[in-house]
Amino acid sequence: MRTIEWHDGAVRMIDQRKLPHEYVEVEFIDYRQVALAIEEMYVRGAPAIGAAAAYGLALAAVHSKARSEAQLVADVKEAADVLRNTRPTASNLFWALDRMLGRMDDGTLEGIEQIQQALVVEAQALADEDVAVNKRMGTYGAELIEDGYNILTHCNAGALATVDYGTALAPIRTAWKQGMRVHVFVDETRPRLQGARLTAWELMREGIPMTLIVDNAAGHFIQAGEVDIVFVGADRVVANGDVANKIGTYKLAVVAKENGVPFYPVVPTSTIDLAIDSGEGIPIEERDPHEVTHVCGQPIAPEGVRVANPAFDVTPHRYVSGIVTEHGIVYPPFRKGLCSVVEGRRP
């Protein structure tokens, strides 16, 4: 299941706002449409956002009216600025845009047509690599799972959060395919209910046993000894091992640590930002209050109520058991290991 792909000069993606009740694919031919789709969460999840941004730049190049190479480059860079301002927390967004611009500016391309073709090829390569990376993370992460494990996850870090296969769901999928008996507790994940709408949908489609729980029940199941391990995704991991992920992740990590349950983010190296030293430097997106005051379009709070709606929180590295990447599992202390995997080496 490809969340996003290139199709005859257009970007095709699943409209995740419609799931689980409707499966709808939409197509865009303008990078501004892709930027809006990222902002409005047609597509979400750090790796999928990165792929969407890359395809958005490819659209900008292919559909540019430029008559000179210089103008084409200017058009693409203008599109990159627009896309860069869509979601501030996800590291993959900036990584993907920098990779695409680096390909355009690497000095090997000449002429409008060659630049256009190269950016399409680069975006497709980035998307294909995401799938391969996720499967490698699944292999490493599955080593942490034992037969009969109960696994807790938060938000959606499955195929829908990536190009395909997933991050936090990758070890679960891999273990299931290896014949292990696993069961997943799925946090509903307020306010946008990505766990209830998306993770539950993915797991049920594959027949992986799961139980949907409200976010506030997670501590109960952890304390009761019914959770063996916690897997989450991440939108940014910084140099000291602090992890930014969907709001509610921090309290899961604290409760897991208190009860001796291992807590593992599963992240591609494109999510690791070594330029930021600690979680204090991670920008946290504040989203529309309507997401909190309404559920499925229906109001649930008094009109005019004051709302705070941070989309992410930061889990300090002291609560993190290890970080699963495509090059292996990084264990504390994290700095050296994170540098190694970003350089493509084993931690």
- Residues 232-254 have pLDDT tens digits of 999 999 999 999 999 999 999 99
Closest of 85, 138, 103, 90 to residue 273, by C-alpha: 90
Residue 162 forms part of a structural domain: yes
Q: What does the block give as tokens for 200?
A: 């539950």
Q: Are residues 34 and 118 in the same domain?
A: yes
Cα separation, 151 vs 183, in Å, equals 6
Residue 125 forms part of a structural domain: yes
Closest of 9, 89, 8, 104 to residue 50, by C-alpha: 89
Residue 267 forms part of a structural domain: yes
Residue 247 sits in a domain of what CATH number? 3.40.50.10470
Mean pLDDT score, 86-96: 90
343 pLDDT above the threshold of 90: yes
Residue 139 near residue 149 (C-beta atoms within 8 A): no
Q: Which domain holds residue 27?
A: 4-134
pLDDT at 89: 83
Q: Are residues 24 and 50 in the same domain?
A: yes
Residue 333 near residue 242 (C-beta atoms within 8 A): no
Strand partners, 263: 230
**For the chain, what is the domain count?**
2
Q: Are residues 172 and 317 in the same domain?
A: yes
Residue 151 near residue 181 (C-beta atoms within 8 A): no
Is the backbone of residue 323 left (phi > 0), alpha (psi -120 to 50) or beta? beta
134, 159, 175 — which closes off a domain?
Answer: 134
Residue 347 forms part of a structural domain: no
Q: Are residues 109 and 214 in the same domain?
A: no
Residue 96 sits in a domain of what CATH number? 1.20.120.420
Token pair 């930021």 is found at 276
Q: Are residues 149 and 218 in the same domain?
A: yes
pLDDT at 267: 97
Q: Are residues 87 and 204 in the same domain?
A: no
Residues 6+ apart with CB under 8 A from 252: 152, 154, 187, 218, 222, 230, 232, 263
The number of beta carbons lying within 10 Å of the beta carbon of residue 39 is 13
Residue 194 forms part of a structural domain: yes
Q: Are residues 115 and 249 in the same domain?
A: no
Sign of the alpha-carbon dihedral angle for 336, 338, 339, 340: positive
Q: Are residues 246 and 173 in the same domain?
A: yes
Enzyme catalytic residues: 235
Cα separation, 276 vs 265, in Å, equals 18
113, 134, 155 — which closes off a domain?
Answer: 134
Mean pLDDT score, 133-150: 98
Q: Are residues 194 and 272 in the same domain?
A: yes
Residue 129 forms part of a structural domain: yes
89, 111, 134 — which closes off a domain?
Answer: 134
Closest of 56, 7, 3 to residue 163, by C-alpha: 3
Q: What does the block give as tokens for 37?
A: 């789709």
Task: Give the confidence band of 297 by pLDDT, cuts at 50, 70, 90.
Answer: confident
Q: Are residues 172 and 103 in the same domain?
A: no
Cα separation, 192 vs 290, in Å, equals 10
Q: What mean pLDDT is reported for the chain? A: 96
Q: Are residues 87 and 186 in the same domain?
A: no
Q: What does the block give as tokens for 40?
A: 């409005």
Q: Are residues 65 and 153 in the same domain?
A: no
Residue 139 forms part of a structural domain: no
pLDDT at 294: 94
Residue 140 forms part of a structural domain: no
Residue 183 near residue 176 (C-beta atoms within 8 A): no
Task: Give the confidence band of 75 by pLDDT, cuts at 50, 70, 90.
Answer: very high
